[in-house]
Structure 1
Amino acid sequence: MLVSDKTQRVGVPRYVEIAITFLLFAYPILTLTVAGAVNSIFFLLFLISVVVLLFDVWPGTATPTTEDCSTDPLSERAAWLYFLSMAALPIAVFISQWANHRWGWNYYDAVSRFFLSIPIFFALRKIPAKTLMTIWPGFIVGALVACGLAVWFPHNWGGGDNLARVGSSFVNPIHFGDIALTLGAISVFGIGCRGIVRPPGEALYNLVATLALLAGAYASILSGSRGGWIAVPVFVLLAYSINYKKISLITLNFGMLFMIVSAIFIYAFIPEIHHRIDMIPQNFHAFYQGNENTSIGIRFQLWKAAFLIFFEHPLFGVGMGGFKALMGPMELSGQLTPLAADFGRQEVHSELLSRLSQLGIVGFAAIIAVYFVPGWLFWQRLRASDPASRASARMGLVLVCGFFVYGLTVETFDLTMTAAFYALTTAVLLAAAYPKNLRIDRQSCLVS
């Protein structure tokens, strides 16, 4: 039988769509340049999304989609998986607080962004993917602006060596470099999104997107954030895994040779890279000679402390704030040097180990879900029929893989800004990857 005798109209008013499009274009540009911008835009989109969901069916014309209109690309199981993955961290924090009797509303500040991004995802699914993908030019401009900020308006945070560690006035070099690199990588992975531009404009967009990658990478270099550079080979492997069927053996060999030569050239002629890379074996040598107060040595101490805390509190962890509270006792017992304890009072220097030590197995499972559930959902849409959905899936995988790598050596979600950026970008790109079926007519939609 027919689903309906009329075309079902599901969408948002044009003026709401324009407002959302403007916000999506703006926030990647403003994230590193205007303090509080990403959080402000996040909450604006949250409020708009709540209104859209409350008034589910709007009058107006239906918006066509290239997907088979008889099916929704998002299954009920996938929708629940996304919901649970974004709710997991706030729930884990509550369970750990209840178990440890260590209460505090401030510990929900950053993790609440994940939960609040849920209505944003479901509301934005009502907007066509090619419209949502206007976020792609925002990423491109954002990477270029980040590079310009690092070059012409640098804020030197220092770093204990002779080279500057560049960030912005409100973002430290580690997060600045990581987000700048992410903006650039997402830009180049968006190439091929024909829903935004068509030839001859497509070639120009692709060129500018490539320049955005170089700009984001250079901003990351100026930041001196070595932990973020580990993501570069991951992005290369991701690009290969997505396109391996299209790559000939000759192209693969040429590409590998080009990357090796480029890496040697970059190491030889860019002092920031040369200096920061040379410090790694120096740090290891000093550590094994008994000097634990190097950059790497301090991290090793804090990671060891995190594991010790986890082994004593495996299920629910020691509670949010518990790691910092234990720095003093662990210093007095000789498990940490005074300098490492001071660093530990700031952060664990690992997102995964922070959750493992403070929230236990429950929290570790939650943070893994934050990465791997969206990653799995993006991977499922790499072969979508809609070019915009395919592009958003590629861009989403860059986001997830990048933040997972960054989180190995720094706490990524202890700041509301970084949590909001990840949660919002995940929601937007997933909405573009899984656009809601907006056209149901009698010619093509029969219920089997």
Structure 2
Amino acid sequence: MHNEIASPQQSASATSSQWLFSLVRALVFLFPITVATVGWGSSIFVLLLLPALYYGRGWNTLSTWEQRLMLGYVLVFAVMVLSMVNAQDFKESGQMLERFLRLALIVPIYLMFRRFRFCMGRELAAGALVACFAMGAQAIYEVMWQGESHAEGYYHKIVFGDLAVWWAAVVAVLATTVVKNGWARAVIAVAISVALYASVLSQTRGAWLFIPLIPAILLWSQWHMLKNSRNWIVAGVAALMVIGGGAAFQSQKVMGGIERGVEELQSFENNPGELSSWGTRLNLWRNSLLLLQETPILGSGVGDFRVDMERLVEEERSWSRHVVLFSHAHSIYFDALARGGILGLLTTVSVLLVFPFVIFARELRRSRQPWSRFYAIGGVMLIAAFAVFGFSEGLWARNPLVNTYVTGLVVLLAGAVNSREDSAQNASPPPGEYA
């Protein structure tokens, strides 16, 4: 199976860069395994960033669209800094800005990957494969041995459940693009099942919303291969995920979670102030719209969400008093509206979700080799996952999820561009290909 997931041969500009190559390989492999289980995500991010601050050069070698995307991440940080003109809680503002700064620091890390032409798909996929089994084992241990009501890993059940589904998506992409051996595919099928079961044990209902999209994206992204090459493995993996997902959703834990969600919505309708998971989210979203009415352009400030919730409760404008327990809106969309106003929402959604999705979709149309398709489809899957996860969770308020977005974006986008350019050097590019 080792040979089945080997990515194209790496190149470096000098012998002295071999230590950097080895370091980055190790970090990319370890990140999926540790980010939700033992909490090494921030440490790995720092270890990636430190050499990137020195080696991350070559801005002029980037294409125009790459430069625009990188500037977009800096712009997101700048908009959140600008929102501080309305802020009161500067301590909380500093903590939130540190997370948005990580998004801006994509730039030097991406430059380092492009300069040394790192294609770390093998390492990311192998780490994701191990992560599926590690998270499954941890979830079973926490729930069945320790007697916990749900699995939560090192941080929180939402982080754990979201990332379990995400790593399952990564290995599903691997199975439909690169892996050819039947036994390897069987191992991957088991890994996907284990990871999805870990998510079920976490009781993270927001993560379950993305599960049906995984086979849908696989079929959409490789439909022409089904028609032209009869690559039925894509349909097979998609069908297995649909069947497995359907079976999982019949489990007692999943059905119980869905039933609780329905009960919470009914309870909110009768008593909006009652404490519940969905009831609190709906109150947070409503209050975010109230804040938008007050400061529509720049929002109420990047770190003032909890302060504003306390104020709305004191003014008796909030339906629930429990909103004071939260420092974010439990949704990246409503959170952006509250913190950064209309400008913040448009900037974050366009830069963090829409623009990268368009870029990965374009890379997918131009991909020719298996690893190129892995990077492109994986990138589409990454953006779709965070768009769905972010509907009911404030992803940018949690370091493990920010670190996962940054690491995934850099590895997949740099890998897509580097592998395409390497292929173009070995063969004449087809019409319409760009360098």
Query: Taking structure 1 as the reference length, what is the TM-score of the superposition?
Result: 0.81
CA gap of 1:51–1:204, structure 2 versus 1, over 3 A, is farther
Task: Give the structure 2 partner of residue 353 of structure 1.
Answer: 334
What code does the residue aligned with 2:129 have? I
Contact 2:159 2:400 in 1 (8 A): no
1:48–1:209: structure 2 CA closer, same or farther, 3 Å change rule? farther
Matches within 5 A, 1:290-439: 290=271, 292-293=273-274, 294-343=276-325, 345-368=326-349, 369-382=351-364, 383-435=366-418, 437=421
Is 1:279 aligned to residue 282 of structure 2? no
Rg larger in structure: 1
Equivalent residue number for residue 66 of structure 1: none
Change in 2 beyond 3 A, CA 1:300/1:442: closer
SS of corresponding position for 1:321: coil
| Residue 173 (structure 1) aligned with residue 118 (structure 2) | no
Aligned length: 408
Structure with more of its chain in helix, by fraction: 2
In 2 relative to 1, CA 259–177 (structure 1 residues): closer, same or farther, beyond 3 Å? closer
Question: C-alpha distance in 2, partners of 1:441/1:84?
Answer: 28
The aligned counterpart of 2:432 is: none
The match for 2:3 is none
User: Taking structure 1 as reference, are residues 192 and 273 closer, same or farther at Cα in structure 2, changes over 3 Å only?
Assistant: closer
CA RMSD, 1 decimal: 3.4
Aligned pairs (5 A) from 1:212-227: 212-227=191-206
Contact residue 350 and residue 411 of structure 1 kept, 8 A: yes
Partner of 2:111: 122
SS in 1 for 2:56: helix
Cα gap change, 1:388/1:130 in structure 2, threshold over 3 Å: closer, same or farther? farther
- Return the alpha-carbon distance in structure 1 between the equivalents of residues 263 and 304 of structure 2: 32
- Where does residue 68 of structure 2 map in the other structure? 81
The aligned amino acid for 2:73 is M
Which residue does the alignment assign to 1:59?
A: none
User: Residue deviations 1:52-97, cap 9 Å, x none?
Assistant: 335x7xxxxxxxxxxxxxxx9x962211222123213211111111
Distance 1:254 1:390, change over 3 A: closer
Work out which of the residue numbers 121, 129, 132 in structure 2 matches 1:143.
132
Q: Are 2:149 and 1:164 aligned?
A: yes
Query: Which position in structure 1 is the counterpart of 2:34?
Result: 30
Match of 1:51 in 2: 54
Q: Unaligned stretches of 5+ in structure 1?
A: 1-7, 57-71
Q: Secondary structure at the match of 2:396?
A: coil
SS at match of 1:348: coil
**Higher-RCO chain (CA-CA 8 Å, sequence separation at least 6):** 1
Distance (Å, rounded) in 2 between the aligned partners of 1:99 and 1:181: 37
CA distance in 1, matches of 2:240, 2:35: 33
What letter is aligned with 1:418?
L
1: CA distance, partners of 2:425 / 2:217: 39
How far off its partner does 1:318 sit?
Answer: 0.4
1:107 aligns with 96
Question: For residues 396 and 335 of structure 1, do their structure 2 counterparts lie closer, same or farther at Cα, with a shift above 3 Å needed?
Answer: same
Cα distance in 2 between the residues matched to 1:226 and 1:307: 24
With 327-336 and 229-238 compared, the bigger mean Cα shift is at 327-336
Judging changes above 3 Å, is the alpha-carbon distance between structure 1 residues 401 and 261 closer, same or farther for their aligned structure 2 residues? closer
Deviates more, 1:39-48 or 1:251-260: 251-260
**Percent identity between the aligned chains?**
20
Distance 1:308 1:156, change over 3 A: farther
Partner SS, residue 276 of structure 1 = helix
Give 5+ residue unaligned stretches, structure 2. 1-10, 430-434
